[in-house]
Amino acid sequence: MENLPLVLDLIEWLSTSPRNYPEVMDAWRTSCPRLTVWEDATDAGFVELKRHGSEKLVCVTPLGREFLDKHRGGAMA
């Protein structure tokens, strides 16, 4: 995965608490075709969208937590 450090940063950022979709898109969306952090994380199954009432939340999946633990030594719970 070409953007591994940034994907790990995204997962780590989300691991503290789910964030609403607009907040995630504001922080992580890019128009650079070589910087596909959001796409890489979702394609790999590390993050998912969940509905909470009328709000969409972005959450780390169990696979994403496992990936974070593997690459960051379990620093985040």
Residue located via tokens 């690459």: 71
Whole-number pLDDT of residue 42 = 93
Tens of pLDDT along the chain (77 residues) come to 778 899 999 999 999 999 999 999 888 877 777 778 888 999 999 999 999 889 999 999 999 999 999 998 754 44
Domain count, the chain: 1
With respect to residue 77, please indicate whether it lies within any of the assigned structural domains: no
pTM (two decimals): 0.83
Following CA atoms 66, 64, 58, 42 in sequence, which dihedral angle do they give, to the nearest 10 degrees? -170
Q: The domain spanning residue 38 has which CATH number?
A: 1.10.10.10
Whether 59 contacts 14, CB under 8 Å: yes
Range of the domain at 48: 4-72
Whole-number pLDDT of residue 26 = 87
Residue 69: other Cβ atoms inside 10 A = 14
